[in-house]
Structure 1
Amino acid sequence: MYLDHRALTRAGIHDPVLRESYEYCRRLLVAIGDGKDIWRGSLLLPPERRPHMWAVYGFVRHYDELSEFPVDTGEGQRRFADWCNAAMADLESGHSCEPSVRALRHTLRTWDLDPARVRGLLDGFLMDQSVPEYATFDDLLRYMRLIAVESFHMVVAVMGPAIRPAGPQTEAMALALQLTNLIRDVAEDQRRGRTYLPLEDLDRFGVTRQDLARGRMTPAIRDLVKFEVGRAHALYERGAGLPDLLHPQCRELFRASLTFYRSYLTEIERRDYNVLSSKPRIGPADQARMALRLGVPLLMSRARRSGTGAGPARRWEGAACS
């Protein structure tokens, strides 16, 4: 049984196989990592937009998990590259039997999105297969623009820009969110043999990769993390106007989501920048306080919605699989 029949129907998704593809993406979010937070947030979107959010993030989760398979051999890297190439071929041909590809293909067509953005995202995952470190922040930016900005443009499109192009603000906010992730995951990434914080920054503060791998905080590591947190805050400020450019039905949810995610930086600051002993998380008590503070604007936003909502500019539903 689908847990959100209404959303699928309101989104104009009637084909049984296509409905199951969107449901597959929703289940991926519920089952993997922090995806459950994304799914919970989607419940506050107008129902006709929810499945498309599942499709974007479900596809990202699916290929992110595939990219984490052991790739210490050339064969492993070639296998993942084949999966990526097959996904792009399916998106371009209009036919796929992979559920997450099938759902995303439908979302791309519904919202008139360029499949080239998906190619950029997959190229970012491919970089993770062979690039364990980044010499400069400019090098890291090139990676983040692939892995974060491309998919975030799709998210913003689903939320319906209502005023003017949101490109610069979208990029800044996508980079802020991704950098927040990288700071939170320093210890976990070290265990995977990856160092995303730029080596030029490590050198600046007298930190080595081996220092990070030992998992013990030092004054130098604290200063390094503090610097990266400040850089992330600056990116959030550059993208702060983005919610105002979205569809009125989505603005308050978007603001609430950004406030929640930025609070990870506040938690890191509260911990005196210790990201090595455990992954910074928002505790249940803090989540409850945040929900109370943000809940009233969200409820008011939902109350203002019309009975029919605002769907995408055009609907498209092709053969689900052939």
Structure 2
Amino acid sequence: MYLDQRALTRAGIHDPLLRESYEYCRRLLVAVGDGKDIWRGSLLLPPERRPHMWAMYGFARHVDEMSELAIETGAGRTQFADWCTTTKADLESGHSCEPSVRALIHTLRTWDIGPEPAQGYLDVYLMDQRVTEYPTFDDLLNYLRPMIVEPFRMVVTIMRPTSGPTGPEGEAAALALYLTNLIRDVAEDQRLGRTYLPLEDLDRFGVTREDLAGGPMTPGIRDLVKFEVNRAQALYERGAGLPDLLHPQCRGLVRASLMFYRSYLTEIERRDYDVLSAKPRIGPAHQARMALRLGVPLVMSRARRSGTGAGPARRWEGAACS
């Protein structure tokens, strides 16, 4: 907790209501599933950048939870749509009474990011309430770009690229990370009535949507999963140069994230592409080996950090309700 409060101070966030909004985003991450990994990863960033990472991912976590609840209850879809409409207006006006939105607004303004990517993110979530399958990979990409690529570019902005635009590398890395999760969650998503893997791929290997809901593994499913794993591996290769385009103090986090999520693909390969019997996970021993591999570079990176804690030059704390 001390380090988290120190990060808020180093980021120039002093208003009590705004500090609580960022803390709310941090608690969202710590409390829910894979969000803990995002919070732990933020510890690899300079303190003045950490709260902005909480804001972006905390907001995304909040939207995701509300979307899932809307799907499960059915009656909540209208309420979720109304919330999205209000939130888009708040992002435009720069004021919100919702803690996660308030923190996000402050982050966007601090880093001179317009509201459009976040508004587009909400639009795609609304579409996700209606669309449950994607005929082709291009159709999936059209969904993933506003859902994943644009928000990832917002995160990259916080890490201050130093070598020009990160377009191709950033897009490939974002798609690789998300495709990895789609492969891991294929059975769970199917049980929720969603098929994210392109239908053209299912047809290629003679697999039906029902086959992916947790039934027995078949040669066709193994071939399908192997095909998607190879596609994700190719995206990781295309995005491998992204860390070198970022601020030196932020490269460790991106390298760690790419290494960590790519290791899920290794685990899937080790399990002979079985993603139906149990969700692929990374064991503590493997995590420890990755931590050791990253340890020395991260220590050296921290040793080179400036002690000024200046962070972004322009601060803005006007997102609180009046």
TM-score (norm 2): 0.97
| Aligned position for 1:211 | 211
Please tell me whether the aligned partners of residues 91 and 119 of structure 2 are also in contact (alpha carbons under 8 angstroms).
no
Aligned residue type for 1:171: E
- Measure how far apart 1:239 and its partner are: 1.2
- Measure how far apart 1:85 and its partner are: 1.1
- Measure how far apart 1:126 and its partner are: 1.3
| Aligned position for 1:33 | 33
| Aligned position for 1:255 | 255
- Write the deviation string for residues 168-217 of structure 1: whole angstroms up to 9, x where unpaired: 21111111111111000001101101111000000000111111124211
| Aligned position for 2:178 | 178
- Measure how far apart 1:313 and its partner are: 3.6
- Measure how far apart 1:122 and its partner are: 1.0
| Aligned position for 2:104 | 104
Please tell me whether the aligned partners of residues 111 and 313 of structure 1 are also in contact (alpha carbons under 8 angstroms).
no
In structure 2, the gaps of 5 or more residues are none
- How does 1:250-289 map onto structure 2 within 5 Å? 250-289=250-289
Q: What CA distance in whole angstroms lies between the structure 2 residues aligned with 1:206 and 1:66?
A: 34
- How does 1:68-217 map onto structure 2 within 5 Å? 68-71=68-71, 75-217=75-217
Aligned residue type for 2:9: T
- Write the deviation string for residues 207-259 of structure 1: whole angstroms up to 9, x where unpaired: 11111124211111000000000001111111111111111111122112211
- Measure how far apart 1:78 and its partner are: 2.3
- Write the deviation string for residues 131-171 of structure 1: whole angstroms up to 9, x where unpaired: 11111111111111121112101110111111101112111
User: What is the number of residues matched between the two proteins?
Assistant: 322
Among the aligned pairs, what percent are the same residue? 80
Tell which deviates more after alignment, 54-63 or 258-267: 258-267
Please tell me whether the aligned partners of residues 169 and 242 of structure 2 are also in contact (alpha carbons under 8 angstroms).
yes
- Measure how far apart 1:125 and its partner are: 1.2
Q: What CA distance in whole angstroms lies between the structure 2 residues aligned with 1:262 and 1:73?
A: 34
Aligned residue type for 1:219: P
- Measure how far apart 1:319 and its partner are: 4.8
Identify if the C-alpha distance between structure 1 residues 237 and 319 changes in structure 2 by more than 3 Å, giving closer, same or farther.
Answer: closer
Q: What CA distance in whole angstroms lies between the structure 2 residues aligned with 1:130 and 1:264?
A: 29
- Write the deviation string for residues 39-78 of structure 1: whole angstroms up to 9, x where unpaired: 0010111000000000000000000000001437875332
In structure 1, the gaps of 5 or more residues are none
Q: What CA distance in whole angstroms lies between the structure 2 residues aligned with 1:50 and 1:213?
A: 38
CA RMSD of aligned residues (A): 1.4
